[in-house]
Structure 1
Amino acid sequence: MRDFHLPGRSAVYATNGMCATSHPLAAGIAIDTLKRGGNAVDAAIAGAILLGVCEPQMTGLGGDMFALIAEGGEVSGLNASGRAPAGLDAEALRAEGHDAVPPYSVHAVSVPGAVDGFCRLAEERGRLGLADILGPVIPYFENGVPVAPRVADDWSKATHLSGDGRRHFLVDGQAPAAGTRFALPGQADVLRRIARNCRAGFYEGEVAEDLVTSLRALGGTHSQNDLDAQSCEWVTPISGPYRGAELIELPPNGSGATALLMARMLERFDLSSLDPFGAERAHLEAEAAKLAYDARNRFIADPDHVTRLDHMLSEETAARLADLIDPERAMPAPPPLAEAVHRDTIYITVVDRDGMMVSLIYSVFHSFGSGLASAKFGIGFQNRAAGFNLTPGHPNEAGGGKRPMHTIIPALLHREGRIEMSFGVMGGAYQPNGHVRLISNLLDHGLDLQAAIDGPRCFGALGPLDIENGYGAEVRAALEAKGHVLRQPETAIGGAQAIRLTEDGVMIGASDPRKDGCALGY
C-alpha cells in the first residue's frame, strides 16, 4: 500500500473491461469500443491507431506492430513487422563508406507492416469489423488533438525531420507546444480507405502510389512489389521461467528471447533479499543485461536467418553467463552495437469481460522514424531497417526482403495455470530489461502493480549506466565504487503499461507516470 500522504497514483480496479496505454484519449476510445460491443482486439486496434495522432513521434501507419493474444487458455502471437525492400543492398552501403545503415536516410525505411497486421487481427480475432472500429477514430485525425506534455517534450527533441516530414509533422515550422491542436487530415483520408477496403486501402491504389513515389523520389528502391509482398504471420510464442511463473514473449525477429535469457540469469541470485532500489540489485541487473544483450546482438535476426536460438534460451547458457557476474565489480560493456537503438514506441493492453487479453506494441522506431514522410497523405516512414547491421555474413546483415532485428516486444505472464498479466515496457533497447525488472519487482519484492511501474530505473546494457533521478546519492556512489560509469538519461527510462487479472475476474491496471497516459476500466 502506497503512502497516501505522498504524490502518486493508485492502481485501477474494474470488472467489465480495462485498457492501459500512454495517452488518455487512446485509453478512452478503447473503453468506448468495449462498451459498444467490441472485444479486446477491437479495442486495442482503436486505441493503438489513435495513438498515431496523439503520439506521432512514437508510432503511426508507416510503422510495425507485434501482438500477443490470450483467450480461453490459449496464447497466439502476431508478427506484423515489415521487410526491407528487395533492392536494399548491404554491399552497396558498405561501398559508400557506411558501417551501419544510416538511420535518417531512405535506406533505413522498411515496408510498413502494422496496417496489414491490424487488418488481419480485425478480420480473424475481432468482433466489430474495421469500419466500425475506425469510425470513431477518424475524426481525431481530421480535427486534431491537443498535444500532451510528455509528447511535446519528445517532439522538441526530434531534430531530424526533413522534407515532407517537416511539412506534415511540424506546426509553422516548429514542434508544437503542449496544448497545441495537431491534426493529420491526410491520414484521416487513409483511414477512411482502410475502413472501406481494409488492406487494399493502404497497400494498393493511391496510398500505395504515394508511398512508392515518395520513397523513390528520396532515392529509395521501394516498389509496388515490395508492398504486395508484405504479409504478417501468426507465430508460436516462446517462454521461460521466473520464480515459479512463466514469462511469455514473441520469437525473433523481436528481442523477447533477450528478456528470457536475462530472467534466467537473475533467477540464480537472491534478489528478494536486496533493496529493490539499492545499488546491489541495480548492479546485478546491469551485469545480466550486458550479457543478455550481447547474446541478442549475436543471434537475433529475421526468423529465417536466426542461429542458435535454443542455445540462447537454454538453462546451461544462463548458468554459464550468470557465473561471469561479479557481485562487486562491473564488467566492461559489450562491443558497440552496429544496429541502431532508440527509446520510442507505444504500447497498449486491453482485457475484456470475457477475459481475452491483448498485449500490443506499435512503433516507427526512432522518434518520427526516419524523419521522412509521404508527400500526399503524410504517412511517416519508419526507419526500422536501421535495426540491421552491415557485418558481412551476420544473421542480421541488411538484405532485401529480410526483417531486421526488432526492439519492440509485448509480453504476458503465466502463473498457477493461467495467464495472469498482460504488460509491456516501452523504451526501445530497454524493453527486455524493463520486462525483467517489472516481473522482479512483483515476484521478488512483492510490490503492487503501480508501485512496480513507478519505481526508479537504470539501464546499463549498452555502455554507461543510465540512471534516473529516483536513485539517491548513496546508491549512485555505491554503483560508481563497483566501476559503473553513471549517466543522466535525456528522458526518463521507458514507460510501462500493465493489467493483471485475478482468479475471480477483477482487473487491476497500472500506467507509467513517465508518460501522459492512464489505465481506465468500467
Structure 2
Amino acid sequence: MKRRQFLLTGPATAALALSACTTAPPPALAAQAAPAAPPPDDAPPPLSNTIYSGDRLAGAPFASRSVVWGMNGVAATSHPRATLVALDILRKGGSAVDAAIAANATLGVVEPTANGIGGDAFCLMWDPALGKVMGLNGSGHSPAALSLETLRARSPKGRVPFHGAPAVTVPGAVDAWWTMHQRYGKLPWKDLMEPAAGIAEEGMPIALMIAARMKSDMAYFLRPDSGIEEVENVKSIYYTRGRTPEEGEIVRNPDLARTLRMIGEGGRDAYYDGPIADTIEAYFKRIGGWMTRADLAAQHAKWVEPNHVDYRAGVTVYGMPPNSQGPTTLQMLSILKNFDMREAGLMTAQSIHYQAEAKRLAFEDRARWFADPEFADIPIDMLLSDSYGQQRASLIRPDRPMARAFPGDAPHQGGTTYLTVSDSSGMMVSLIQSNYAGMGSGLMADGLGFSFQNRGAGFSLQDGSPNLYAPRKRPFHTIIPGFATKDGAPWLAFGVMGGGMQPQGQTQIILNMVDYDLDLQAAGDCPRWRHDGSSQPTGVYTPGLGTLKLETGVPETTKALLARMGWTVGGTDGGFGGYQATMFTGESYGAASEMRKDGLALGY
C-alpha cells in the first residue's frame, strides 16, 4: 500500500515533511482503525483510515481529479445537478449571471442543508464591459419590531440563540438574484426558476454529505430543548419516513416548487411584497416572531466597491467589505506577503505557523471592527494598508506562536454553498449563499417549502460592540465570495465554505496557487489547516492560543514540529470547508470542485 506523496519545496523542514509523507501512518491512526472486537463472520470488512487514495500519472499526487477545461463556459457547484443546470443555461444563450442564479435556485432544492431562498447571498463578479470587479451585498436586516431588550430577554446565555425566531433576519438571496438579473440577465427571469421548480416537484436522490448534515440538523431541531417555536413544517418535507432520508433516497418538495414558480411569474415582488410575504408575516405572527411584510418590502441588495490587496506575482485579491468578513482574507495576505512563503515550503510547519499567526491577528481585528457599515465606522483603508500589514507581520516570531493575539490600535474613523460560473463573454461570477448554520433556524413558513436562515445569531449582545444588535441592522456575515486578477486581467473566481474557515481557506488557496504552483484542482484538494479560538464579532472573547486543527493528509512530521513549536494541535473534524473555482488563462477556462463536497465542475 502506498500513500500519495506531497510535492514540497523549501529547506530542511520541507524535507522532514516529505519524509513523513512516505512513511507508514502513525500508530495512533492504526489504533483508531482497529475494531474493539472481532466482527461477525458475515460482516463486511471495516473501512480503514490507514487506506489512502490511489496514484495519479501526472500532476499533484494528492489531487482527486484533473482541472476541467472549456472554451465557451464552465461552472462549478457543490452538487452535480446544479452544475448541469448552469451549463444548460449557458448553452441556451444565458449569461454567467443567469446560469449562477439558476444554479443557486437549484442548490436550494438539492442542498437545503446549506442554502435556499430563506437565506442571504453575496457576489463578486468580473464585468467585461466595465473591465472591473463588481460586488453585490445581498444580506438582510433584522426585523424592525424586535428590540434589543426583547432579544436579550430571549437570549439567556448572553448570545443570540442559533435557532428559532430570534435568530431570523430578512432573507436577501432572491432580491440579490433579481438585482443581478436586472443588470446582467439575458434569458427571461421565469426560465431561471423553472429548472429548480421542476426538480423540487419530481424529486432528487439525496447526496452523501447532504444526507449526513440533514440528519444532524434535524436531530437538533427535534430536541425538546431546541427552543424552536414550530418544527412540523420542516418535518413534513425532510422527516417523512420517521427519519431523515439516507443517501440515494428521493426527496420531493412540492411546496417549494410552487413557491419558485410564484417567484418566476411575479419576480422579486412576489416574494417581498406579495403573496409569499403575506404568508411569511402570518407565519411569524402565529409562532410569536417579529418579521413582517414591511420588513421584507424594505429589503434591497446593494452594489458595493470591493476591497482589495496586491499580494505578489501581479495577483490582486478582492473581498466584500463589511458587514462581510471579506477583508479578513485580505488582511491575512497583507501580513503573509512579508514572508518568503515559497521558501517556507508547502505543508511545512514553518508555512502553516506563519499562516495561522496571520489568521490570529486578522481575526482579532475582525472581532473588534466588523459590523454593518451603516451603524459603525470601520477603518478598512488602514487595516488593509501595506504599512499595517508590515506592522502586524513584525509581531510574528518564526519559532513559536504568540501567547495572545490582540487587535491593532486602529484610529476610529463574523451552512453555506458556493458556486462559480464563467461565460464566453469574459464574465466570471463568484457567488456564495447561505442559511448560516446548516438548515438555518429550523423554521419553515406554512406551505412555502424553505427554511429561514439564522443569520441573526451573528449579532453581538455586548454593549460597546460595533456589531451590537439593533432593529433594521445587518449582522456580521461570514459568507465571502473570492475573486482575484492577475496583471489587471480576470483570473480566479473562487470560494471556500464554512463560517470562520472561509478566510483561512481562501488564503490557503491563494498561497497554494501563487507560492506553491499548484493547479486549480490540486489547490483545493491539498490538505488544510484551521485555527479555532479567536475572539468573535458576536462578543465571544477567547484568550490564549486556541487549537490548530490539521487534516489527516498533513505530514506527520509537520504536525510534530508544530507541537514542538508550542501549538496545541488538533485532528481532523470535517470542518475544513468546501471549494469551487473557475479560472481564465487568457485562452480558455478551467473549473474545479474538490472532494469535501458532493460537487462537480463541468465545461464545454
Partner Cα separation in structure 2 for residue 492 and residue 11 of structure 1:
24
Structure 1 residue matching 2:247: 3-state secondary structure: coil
Q: Which residue of 2 aligns with 1:143?
A: 202
Shift of 1:224: 1.4
Q: Which residue of 1 aligns with 2:562?
A: 479
Partner Cα separation in structure 2 for residue 143 and residue 435 of structure 1:
36
Partner Cα separation in structure 2 for residue 490 and residue 416 of structure 1:
38
Q: Which residue of 2 aligns with 1:176?
A: 245
Does 1:264 pair with 2:334? yes
Q: Which residue of 2 aligns with 1:76?
A: 134
Q: Which residue of 2 aligns with 1:499?
A: 582
- Identify the match of residue 514 of structure 2 among 443, 449, 457: 443
Shift of 1:471: 1.3
Shift of 1:213: 2.1
Does 1:236 pair with 2:305? yes
State how 1:211-226 maps to structure 2 within 5 Å: 211-226=280-295
Q: Which residue of 1 aligns with 2:270?
A: 201
Shift of 1:167: 2.8
Does 1:25 pair with 2:81? yes
- Identify the match of residue 599 of structure 2 among 490, 495, 517: 517
- Identify the match of residue 247 of structure 1 among 288, 295, 317: 317
Q: Which residue of 2 aligns with 1:46?
A: 102
Shift of 1:209: 2.1
CA distance 1:317–1:171, change in 2 (3 Å): farther
Does 1:190 pair with 2:259? yes
1:95-153: CA deviations, max 9, x gaps? Answer: 45341111112111000000111111122211002112222221101111111111112
Q: Which residue of 1 aligns with 2:46?
A: none
Q: Which residue of 1 aligns with 2:117?
A: 61
CA distance 1:42–1:275, change in 2 (3 Å): same
State how 1:3-402 maps to structure 2 within 5 Å: 3-4=56-57, 8-72=64-128, 73-95=131-153, 97-158=156-217, 159-162=219-222, 163=231, 164-243=233-312, 244-306=314-376, 307-332=378-403, 344-402=415-473
Moved more, 87-96 or 16-25: 87-96
1:479-509: CA deviations, max 9, x gaps? Answer: 11122222234315101111110112x0011
**Alignment size in residue pairs:** 515
Structure 2 residue matching 1:160: 3-state secondary structure: helix
Shift of 1:33: 0.4
Q: Would you say the 8 A contact 2:505–2:576 is kept in 1?
A: no
Whose radius of gyration is greater, 1 or 2?
Answer: 2
Moved more, 460-469 or 439-448: 460-469
Q: Would you say the 8 A contact 1:167–1:173 is kept in 2?
A: no
Partner Cα separation in structure 2 for residue 173 and residue 216 of structure 1:
29
CA distance 1:335–1:62, change in 2 (3 Å): farther
What one-letter code is carried by the residue in structure 1 that aligns with 2:597? Answer: K
Shift of 1:178: 0.5
Partner Cα separation in structure 1 for residue 359 and residue 559 of structure 2:
18
1:316-343: CA deviations, max 9, x gaps? Answer: 222221111122212246699xxxx7xx
What one-letter code is carried by the residue in structure 1 that aligns with 2:573? Answer: E
Shift of 1:459: 0.9
Does 1:508 pair with 2:590? yes
Shift of 1:76: 1.3
1:330-357: CA deviations, max 9, x gaps? Answer: 2246699xxxx7xx21111000011111
Shift of 1:385: 0.7
Q: Would you say the 8 A contact 2:98–2:181 is kept in 1?
A: yes
Partner Cα separation in structure 1 for residue 247 and residue 371 of structure 2:
38
Partner Cα separation in structure 2 for residue 90 and residue 289 of structure 1:
31
Partner Cα separation in structure 1 for residue 472 and residue 122 of structure 2:
18
Q: Would you say the 8 A contact 1:79–1:234 is kept in 2?
A: yes
Q: Would you say the 8 A contact 1:287–1:461 is kept in 2?
A: no
Q: Would you say the 8 A contact 2:498–2:575 is kept in 1?
A: no
Partner Cα separation in structure 2 for residue 332 and residue 398 of structure 1:
31
Shift of 1:387: 0.6
Structure 1 residue matching 2:263: 3-state secondary structure: helix
CA distance 1:186–1:334, change in 2 (3 Å): farther
Q: Would you say the 8 A contact 1:161–1:368 is kept in 2?
A: no
Shift of 1:212: 1.8
Shift of 1:68: 1.3
- Identify the match of residue 404 of structure 1 among 468, 472, 475: 475
What one-letter code is carried by the residue in structure 2 that aligns with 1:135? Answer: E
Q: Would you say the 8 A contact 1:110–1:385 is kept in 2?
A: yes
Q: Which residue of 1 aligns with 2:31?
A: none
Q: Would you say the 8 A contact 1:293–1:461 is kept in 2?
A: no
Shift of 1:189: 0.6
CA distance 1:455–1:115, change in 2 (3 Å): same
Q: Would you say the 8 A contact 1:190–1:201 is kept in 2?
A: no
Partner Cα separation in structure 2 for residue 330 and residue 44 of structure 1:
41
Q: Would you say the 8 A contact 1:144–1:182 is kept in 2?
A: yes
Structure 1 residue matching 2:285: 3-state secondary structure: helix
Partner Cα separation in structure 1 for residue 342 and residue 469 of structure 2:
42
Shift of 1:52: 0.7
Q: Which residue of 1 aligns with 2:11?
A: none
What one-letter code is carried by the residue in structure 2 that aligns with 1:472? Answer: P
Partner Cα separation in structure 1 for residue 404 and residue 264 of structure 2:
48
What one-letter code is carried by the residue in structure 2 that aligns with 1:466? Answer: K
Q: CA RMSD in A?
A: 1.8
Shift of 1:40: 0.3
Question: Structure 1 length normalisation: TM-score?
Answer: 0.95
Q: Which residue of 1 aligns with 2:485?
A: 414
What one-letter code is carried by the residue in structure 1 that aligns with 2:580? Answer: Q
CA distance 1:59–1:451, change in 2 (3 Å): same
Q: Which runs of 5+ in 1 are unaligned?
A: none
Q: Which residue of 1 aligns with 2:540?
A: none
Shift of 1:303: 1.9
Partner Cα separation in structure 2 for residue 93 and residue 516 of structure 1:
37
CA distance 1:334–1:378, change in 2 (3 Å): farther
What one-letter code is carried by the residue in structure 1 that aligns with 2:305? Answer: T
CA distance 1:327–1:151, change in 2 (3 Å): same
Partner Cα separation in structure 1 for residue 304 and residue 475 of structure 2:
16
Partner Cα separation in structure 2 for residue 170 and residue 247 of structure 1:
43
